[in-house]
Amino acid sequence: MMNIRLHRISRRALHAAAGCAFLLACTLAAQTAPIKLDTGKNASARELWGAQQLRQALAAVRQPPSGARIVVGLRTAPQMARFKDLPAFWPQAEEAFHIQQVGNTWVIAGSDPSGVLYGELELADRIRSSGALPTGIDDTEHPALRLRGVCIGMQKQEITYDGAEYDYLYTPKNFPFFYDKAGWIKYLDMLAEERYNSLYLWNGHPFTSLLRLPKYPEAQELPTAQLEQNIAMFKWLTAEADKRGIWILQGFYNIHLSHTFARAHHLPYHLATPNPIASAYTRYVISEFIREYPHAGLMMTLGEALSPHYGAEWLTKTIIPGVKDGLKEAGITTEPPIVVRAHATDIDTVMKEARPLYSNIDTMFKWNGESLTWTNVRGSVRARFQMLSEDSNVAISNVHLMSNLEPFRWGDPDFVRETLANYPRIGIQGLHLYPLRYWDWPYSGDNTDPRLMQTARDWIWFASWGRYAWNPFRDPQKEHAYWVAQFAQRFGSAQAGEKLLDAYTLAGPCQPSLLPRIGITEGNRQALTLGMTMPQLIDPDRFNPAQTLWTGDGPPGERLAEYVAEEVRHQPHHGQTPIGVSDETVQSSQQALAAAQAAAPYVTQDKAEYQRIVNDMRAIALLMQFYNAKVKAAEQILLYGYDHDAAHLQQADTLLALSVDRFSELTRVAGPAYITATGMETSQRRIPFPGGMHNYPNWQQCLPMYQKELATFRKRRAALLSGKPVQKTAVVQTFPQVAFTLKPGAGQLFTVEKGAQLFQDGPAVIDNLAPELAGMKGIRIARRRGGALTFDLAQPAQILVGFQADGSGKSSVLDPETEQWNLLMLNAVGSPRAPAMAVWAKPLPAGENQLDMGRGDYVVLGFIPADYHVTPHVNFTAADNGSGPVNLDWLFE
């Protein structure tokens, strides 16, 4: 009877048996008649590449049956006609294959060329495992997910090109790996082995690195010789990927322009508002890309630079027409998929307006934000995925950045399997997977010489997501044996494999489960590995918390303030609790370290990597102990806010000191092991401290800050207990300003001061103002009209914008969960009968810039230097009347 399965049996474990026996098998095989392999006359390049892999595996067949042969091809191919009993594939079958022994012939039939390829790879795996053709095989397989992809960032750790975010030219200096054909072959072979079928390359504006643009010679940014090398390289890459069933997609952001083109036309590098010049240019470069690279695809981020309310207009009037122009010029009559991210745009309106014009649109949405926090999603996050699955061809889950996992090794197969098992239940049909250190590809963050390659260090990351994207519905016991074999292959014994798998699976849930209970955000603003300050734990609202972290990307449960409130009221808790989860992570991480250490007697291979694994497990255990002590210290501070019992402060002192001790030990363990703790080193990182190569890139720079926090607490606690008056706020200084010039168009200059009119078209005036903002040079808008503000900056700066909150406390204009904006101050600007304004900041490069937030209640309050740090805080001159509970942040700042 035919056995229909979603996936093959233990693919990479099959390689383990080859070993030294491979050479002997080759000798024996040479003494017998070779096994014939028939691919038919019209086999595609994809089928022929798979046949090549199969031929190499056939050398391991020790005693081939007499007259044995293999026939491969599409189910409808002529060579399949004589096999009458082969099952037919269902009408919409994609990448499916059937392998069956018919007498002394092994038949591989595919629903399409990719199906043939995967069938060839499957049979090759089985042959390498056993040294023989599988007797009696009769199996059908097909993938659970239609798109199974990984990504590479054609981007750097720091902003380097004219101060423009995401824009990097393709050159040997910026991306030497791009020109390494041998490296690409090895990487593409790995992807094919794991059955990935898509590869996304991310860049802000890649077109001038990959295209000749004769219509716009002023757009050329590279020397002609370099451009020609890039074009040849990209064509080679897309062809090699296509042989392996891999679809290359080039990502781009909107509206980003060629920098030379922008300067020639007196435009900013990035536009917030469409204009005819930018539209004509973008439409042209997209059509040229489609024409030049028919095997490649496009993935676009409509937002970030472009204001969200223009996304639908830009897609329907510029991008889709450009795609259609390119298809027409290339003579292609079928619409290839284009991928539209749901990030930083009004995706509902985008899809409603775009689908009638272009039917083959896939969408992409972040899974767990920019971290890995749970095996499921709920609430608004789940609803968004379900909407996308209904409105698009394929809804793709973007497993993005893993900000809470880096820099340590991570590979919990059970966590990955459970996650991907939930995808079909939600309606998700695609996976887009980031590497664990995206910004520094192809290297890991380990401080080694030579640098470690991510594909080698993080093999289990790529293998587990690929394996379970093909089929997540596997027997857990068989999967355990599979992964033990994988570790055994690398470290020399099954005993080592068992212990190391235990270590990975025990450590796996620690960082994911902790973040939703205590963190500020699942975005790249937070580096969990570098810790958190006490104000961030006890007063997270100051730091723009992303509520979907615990309402959508984590299981039901309580945050720390909720937990303490329930304790005080003696009420039962619901779901997970911060203290409970933290205690569990301490126990699990210590068990993971013990399991890793117990493997030592059995490790006979790659002992250097084994020691690095043990060091990572020790670091994770110390990190969990640091958080456990600090969260419990924060609990005591919050309890003090209710009853003012000084005993809570004493307990907090003991616990906070313990947390500093654990962080000191973490610094000793992890500091020398890693070049930087995080991959992204820009000002976007804010938690626990401002990011940047020279601003807290490592534990060594953060430790003194935590020691200072403890010393400050002890000083403030002593003063509080002495009964002497305590100054709770520091002397306030006005912000330094960056000069700017407002260009003609929307907006009006004004001085930010009490009594000043807030908007051009209304009577609202400022009656409450944070002292830091007094005297700033700002720009007010007509809130009923909105419009694009265009201005020149004398130097790189942070724009300060005040937003009024709606009834839910959120801005009516700004999406606070985008990583571009940072919250600086609450209650900063007040006017009669209107909600108070909070101040948000966004970094901008020097020169011409645009801002267009549409219509709404916001005002530009000025510009401060790009490197000027403002700790998020509340304007107490407006918010604190001296009554009620003591504001507790002052104890630490």
For residue 691, give every residue at least 6 positions away whose Cβ sits within 8 Å of its Cβ, in sequence order, or none. Answer: 527, 678, 680, 681, 682, 683, 684, 685, 697
For residue 844, give every residue at least 6 positions away whose Cβ sits within 8 Å of its Cβ, in sequence order, or none. Answer: 793, 796, 797, 798, 799, 863, 866
pLDDT value, residue 3: 41
pLDDT value, residue 682: 79
Task: Say if residue 376's pLDDT is above 80.
Answer: yes
Give the pLDDT band of residue 693 (cuts 50, 70, 90): low
Task: Say if residue 250's pLDDT is above 60.
Answer: yes
Question: Taking residues 100-123, what's their average pLDDT?
Answer: 98
Tell me the three-class secondary structure of 677-699, residue by residue. CCCCCCCCCCECCCCCCCCCCCH
Q: How far apart are CA 709 and CA 652, in angstroms?
A: 12
Give the pLDDT band of residue 887 (cuts 50, 70, 90): low
Question: Taking residues 380-401, what's their average pLDDT?
Answer: 97
- The SS3 of residue 477 is helix
Residue 836 or 177, more confident:
177
Task: Say if residue 29's pLDDT is above 90.
Answer: no
The two tokens of residue 521 are 């955000």
For residue 786, give every residue at least 6 positions away whose Cβ sits within 8 Å of its Cβ, in sequence order, or none. Answer: 746, 852, 853, 854, 855, 856
Task: Say if residue 615's pLDDT is above 70.
Answer: yes
Task: Say if residue 461's pLDDT is above 70.
Answer: yes
Give the pLDDT band of residue 871 (cuts 50, 70, 90): confident
Cα(first)–Cα(last) distance of the chain, in Å?
Answer: 72
The two tokens of residue 447 are 């401080």
Question: Taking residues 236-253, what's their average pLDDT?
Answer: 98
Dump pLDDT digits (tens) for 550-607. 999 999 999 999 999 999 999 999 999 999 999 999 999 999 999 999 999 999 999 9
Task: Say if residue 818's pLDDT is above 80.
Answer: no
> Strand pairing partners for 397?
365, 431
Q: How far apart are CA 766 and CA 642, in angstroms?
A: 34
pLDDT value, residue 685: 86
Percent of the chain residues topping a pLDDT of 70: 92
Among the ranges given (188-192, 720-724, 800-804), the one the predictor scored with the smallest mean pLDDT: 720-724
Q: How far apart are CA 761 and CA 780, in angstroms?
A: 9
pLDDT value, residue 811: 46
Q: How far apart are CA 346 and CA 394, in angstroms?
A: 18
pLDDT value, residue 727: 64
pLDDT value, residue 834: 77
Cα–Cα distances in angstroms (integers) from residue 2 to residues 79, 94, 507, in the given order: 21, 19, 40
pLDDT value, residue 728: 61
pLDDT value, residue 347: 97
Closest CA to 756 of 773, 738, 741, 732: 773
Mean pLDDT (the chain, rounded): 92
Q: How far apart are CA 475 and CA 803, in angstroms?
A: 52
